[in-house]
């Protein structure tokens, strides 16, 4: 099934079902083809995003949900700000 889903992820006809995940947008079902889908139409934009995401992961970069590379510094600053906010909340709670 994962072989078929790799095709579906790069197809313009793909759709998403909350119950089944990635499905064919034409049939609203999981893929049933064995080697090649007769209705496959390559989604160039989605394929580029997948390739960029894989390249970033291979280089050890962090990648967000939309496939954009996120710098390590941005993540570090986010963690520091989160910790400072938590400390501030704890101090305020202990003063009351």
Which pLDDT score is estimated for 66? 64
Does residue 69 have a pLDDT over 90? no
Q: How many CB atoms lie within 10 A of CB 72?
A: 10
Domain chopping of the chain, boundaries: 1-42
pLDDT confidence of 90, banded at 50, 70, 90?
A: very high
Which pLDDT score is estimated for 1? 63
Asked whether the beta carbons of 32 and 23 are under 8 A apart, the reply is no
Among 1-10, 11-20, 83-92, the least confident range: 1-10
- Predicted model pTM: 0.50
Maximum C-alpha span of the chain: 68
Q: How many CB atoms lie within 10 A of CB 62?
A: 13
Over residues 18-62, the pLDDT tens digits come to 888 889 899 988 888 888 888 889 888 888 888 877 776 666 566
Which pLDDT score is estimated for 87? 96
């Amino acid at each position: 099934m994962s072989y078929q889903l790799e095709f579906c992820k790069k197809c313009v006809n793909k759709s998403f079902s909350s119950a089944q995940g990635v499905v064919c947008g034409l049939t609203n079902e999981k893929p049933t083809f064995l080697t090649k889908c007769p209705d496959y139409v390559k989604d160039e934009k989605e394929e580029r995003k997948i390739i960029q995401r894989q390249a970033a992961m291979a280089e050890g970069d962090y990648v967000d949900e939309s496939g954009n590379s996120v710098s390590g510094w941005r993540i570090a600053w986010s963690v520091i700000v989160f910790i400072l906010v938590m400390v501030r909340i704890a101090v305020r709670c202990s003063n009351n």
